[in-house]
Amino acid sequence: MSEWSRAIAKQIAQLQQKKYRALNRQFLVEGPKLVEEALLQNRFPVHSIIGTEDFLEPLHTARKNIAFYSVTARELKKISSLKTPQGGLAVLDMPSTHESPHGSFMVYLDELQNPGNLGAIFRSAEWFGVDGILIGEGSADPYNAKVVQASMGSILRVPFAACSYEDCDELYNKYQFVGADMSGTPIQELSPARPVILAIGNEGRGLSMEMRKRLDHRVSIPQHPSGEAESLNAALSASIIMYAWSTP
């Protein structure tokens, strides 16, 4: 068991902030389910695990070369992002480089700013077999604690990478770009040929002008004639289109 200290506590607590995650190339996963899943995957090396004795006990034999820190519930609360900590958390190392995802069906997030939506899209992407997620400029940090929690572990398995508009230009000759837009072609009338990239826009403003200039098509999800809702949630819209275009 490694020795806990105020300096280590401060360093881990700082990982709740984006600038320190980027500086240290580390992020957090919290709770027994996510920590166990972190130990099963190989994309993000587990640097250390911090938790109460009950939380740590079944994990000791999981892997070597991982620092284990036993803390009290009070100490855990000081470093956790959760109002009610779930016994422990793990510090994961980010890869030195993110290999650009590739495949026949990917999702591009265009200034998507809500961490909960981003996490939910990761979860749906895994469920529907999407090959990867491209995270555009102005989008939420995928390593944000709320994104990680909302993804329910999918962020550990679904390939993703940052993708600027210039990066999109390099993909333009290989993929069709289809944007989710309320004035687009009804989804039942559009079956884009693979490979395709589905662009999901900002929660309030929709797709940016930069992305609109790069679209081959726009697709919409028609509302029921009796409906009066203003719009669908971005993550829900993305999930419906992923389902419609997923291959059994």
Q: For residue range 62-74, what is the model confidence (pLDDT) as tens digits?
A: 666 899 999 999 9
The contacts of residue 190 (CB under 8 Å, 6+ apart) are 178, 184, 217, 219
The domain segmentation of the chain, as residue ranges, is: 6-93, 105-245
C-alpha of 216 from chain center:
26
The contacts of residue 221 (CB under 8 Å, 6+ apart) are 180, 186, 187, 232, 237, 240, 241
Q: For residue range 5-44, what is the model confidence (pLDDT) as tens digits?
A: 999 999 999 999 999 999 999 999 999 999 999 999 989 9
79 has a pLDDT exceeding 90: yes
206 has a pLDDT exceeding 60: yes
CATH number of 105-245: 3.40.1280.10
pLDDT of residue 18: 96
Position 39: which residue type? L
1 has a pLDDT exceeding 80: no
207 half-sphere exposure, CB direction, 13 A CA radius: 25
Q: For residue range 120-169, what is the model confidence (pLDDT) as tens digits?
A: 999 999 999 999 999 999 999 999 999 999 999 999 999 999 999 999 99
Position 13: which residue type? A
Cβ(238)–Cβ(107) below 8 Å: yes
- CATH classification number, 6-93, choose in 3.40.640.10, 3.30.1330.30, 3.30.70.270, 3.40.50.1100: 3.30.1330.30
